[in-house]
Amino acid sequence: MRYRINRRTGDRISEIGLGSAYIYEAGTDTAVKILRRAYEGGVNFYDLAAGDGKAFPMYGEAFADVRDEIFYQIHFGADYSKGEYGWSLDPETIKRSVAWQLDTLGTDYIDYGFIHCQDELSDWEKYLRNGIYDYIMQLREQGVIKHIGLSSHTPSVIERILDEIPADMLMFSINPAYDYGHGDYANGGVDERSRLYSRCESEGIGISVMKPFSGGQLLSSDSPLGRALTPYQCIRYALDKPGVLTVLPGAQTTDEIETLLAYHDQPESALDYSVIGECAPTEAEGKCVYCNHCRPCPVGIDIGLVNKYYDLSKAGDLMAADHYGKLTLTASDCIACGHCDSRCPFGVHQSARMAEIAEYFGK
Ligand code: SF4
Ligand code: SF4
């Protein structure tokens, strides 16, 4: 397992986390096996926006002895009083639900307390009016909540909320389908979504990625992109986005958790998702997605990384220029051989861009 640091909290978070939408369907014995295997494989980040309340005792049983080694995302707005997941903006319902979740999990604290699923500004206004955010802050002052999170599918709403509150983590839906305008949660255009990722990176707000496979659609033959991707391509795609710390796929069988845990054992060729360049919308053409499909560069420049620092720096990320300055090989080492131009499936004229980047950074 590899880990990334949340710059705001210092938490060391596994690149592969686990979502819990359907784990309850596995039944207790299998679910506990899946969770223990995930833990043993180094997964330390678990989202608890479960599809059904049955998931909570499964987590409680699996992690009773290792609670302090893992992180939970718990959502203020997810209600399990009727068994299955329900969404609520009622403060008393939320208080009861969170108390029940903690009790059932066998824990008395929350690593990341999430403002849950704010897809409309009117939801957020009601959330504030109903005192739910105040309640979260009260729990944080008491030490019950360690850090604040926000979940949403809508970039414009997220931007507005991030302007108002100090979130340490964002849970957002990232996959090539949504980023390219396909699917129910494809909210915001290519540029709007990219700006959000850059903002999070720049401000140190870690992103945990929900729906990395677009609810499984991207893995199937009727994928919205016209071709099936693999779980590894989707995970790599999400991990390449600025700001992303962890990807949260689900697992309902022991085979599925083994598949996810094998991510870091895959050769680069199995992670290469550049095939999505064939279905990139016009809006995305000529924009580097940092996939490094154009490697090898004869000089050895890390083309994806150089481009990422450039985009982040232009978006106002001061640390990106610093990181760029520490690279051994920079854009000024480019010999304009054109190899990357001919290899890029996203239509990036990279050799010209290298000249632009070298001029921007002065090296
Ligand atoms: S230039 Fe193209 S192939 Fe190379 S990293 Fe950027 S998007 Fe990927
Ligand atoms: S054009 Fe520059 S960055 Fe691209 S492969 Fe050639 S030397 Fe490397």
What pLDDT does residue 226 have?
Answer: 86
DSSP-assigned letters across all residues of 49-68: --SBTTHHHHHHHHHTTTGG
Question: Of 290, 293, 340, 344, which is best to mutate to test ligand 2, by the most ligand atoms within 8 angstroms of its C-beta?
Answer: 340
What pLDDT does residue 248 have?
Answer: 97
Ligand 2 pocket residue status of 352, Cβ below 6 Å: no
What pLDDT does residue 114 have?
Answer: 97
Ligand 2 pocket residue status of 339, Cβ below 6 Å: yes
Q: Which residues pair with 16 in a beta bridge?
A: 247
Q: Where are the alpha helices (DSSP H) in the chain?
A: 28-40, 55-63, 91-105, 121-129, 132-141, 155-164, 176-179, 190-203, 231-239, 254-261, 268-271, 303-314, 318-325, 339-343, 350-361
Among the listed residues 281, 331, 276, the one whose alpha carbon sits nearest the alpha carbon of residue 308: 331
Ligand 2: centre distance to CA 3 (Å): 30
Ligand 1 pocket residue status of 291, Cβ below 6 Å: yes
Ligand 1 pocket residue status of 311, Cβ below 6 Å: no
pTM, 2 dp: 0.92
What pLDDT does residue 31 have?
Answer: 97
For ligand 1, atom 8, the nearest C-alpha belongs to 291
Ligand 2 pocket residue status of 132, Cβ below 6 Å: no
Ligand 1: centre distance to CA 98 (Å): 44
Ligand 2: centre distance to CA 334 (Å): 5
DSSP-assigned letters across all residues of 104-121: HHT-S-EEEEEE----SH
Ligand 2 pocket residue status of 306, Cβ below 6 Å: no
150, containing H or E segment: strand 145-151
What pLDDT does residue 316 have?
Answer: 84
Ligand 1 pocket residue status of 350, Cβ below 6 Å: yes
Q: Are strands 78-79 and 12-14 parallel, antiparallel or unpaired?
A: unpaired
DSSP-assigned letters across all residues of 305-318: HHHHHHHHHHTT-H
Among the listed residues 95, 75, 72, the one whose alpha carbon sits nearest the alpha carbon of residue 85: 75
Ligand 1 pocket residue status of 307, Cβ below 6 Å: yes
Ligand 2 atom index nearest CA of 303: 3
Euclidean distance between CA atoms 20 and 174, whole angstroms = 17
Question: Of 285, 308, 346, 357, which is best to mutate to test ligand 1, by the most ligand atoms within 8 angstroms of its C-beta?
Answer: 346
CB 122 within 8 A of CB 129: no
Specify whether the backbone of 77 is left (phi greater than 0), alpha (psi in -120 to 50) or beta: left
Euclidean distance between CA atoms 54 and 194, whole angstroms = 36
Question: Of 294, 334, 342, which is best to mutate to test ligand 2, by the most ligand atoms within 8 angstroms of its C-beta?
Answer: 334
CB 294 within 8 A of CB 303: yes
Ligand 2: centre distance to CA 340 (Å): 6
What dihedral angle (degrees, nearest 10) is formed by the CA atoms of 83, 86, 89, 94? 30
Residue range(s) occupied by CATH 3.20.20.100 in the chain? 3-278
Written as tens digits, the pLDDT of the chain (363 aa) is: 999 999 999 999 999 999 998 999 999 999 999 999 999 999 999 999 999 999 999 999 999 999 999 999 999 999 998 989 999 999 999 999 999 999 999 999 999 999 999 999 999 999 999 999 999 999 999 999 999 999 999 999 999 999 999 999 999 999 999 998 888 888 998 889 999 999 999 999 999 999 999 989 999 988 888 889 999 999 999 999 999 999 999 999 999 999 999 999 999 999 999 998 888 888 888 889 999 999 899 999 999 999 999 999 988 888 899 999 999 999 999 999 999 999 998 899 999 999 999 999 999
Euclidean distance between CA atoms 218 and 185, whole angstroms = 14
What pLDDT does residue 328 have?
Answer: 95
Ligand 1 pocket residue status of 346, Cβ below 6 Å: yes
What pLDDT does residue 295 have?
Answer: 87
Euclidean distance between CA atoms 64 and 334, whole angstroms = 54
CB 18 within 8 A of CB 42: no
**Could you identify the residue written with the tokens 């000024």?**
332
3-278: CATH number:
3.20.20.100
Ligand 2 pocket residue status of 334, Cβ below 6 Å: yes
User: Which structure tokens are listed for 185?
Assistant: 């949660």
Buried b (16+ CB within 10 A) or exposed e, 91-130: beebeebbeebbebbebebbbbbbbbbbbeeebbeebeeb
Ligand 1: centre distance to CA 287 (Å): 8
What pLDDT does residue 97 have?
Answer: 96
Peptide bond into 91 cis (omega under 30): no
In Å, how far are 88, 102, 110, 203, 321 from 325, measured between CA atoms? Answer: 48, 46, 38, 19, 6
Contacts of 262 (CB under 8 A, 6+ apart): none
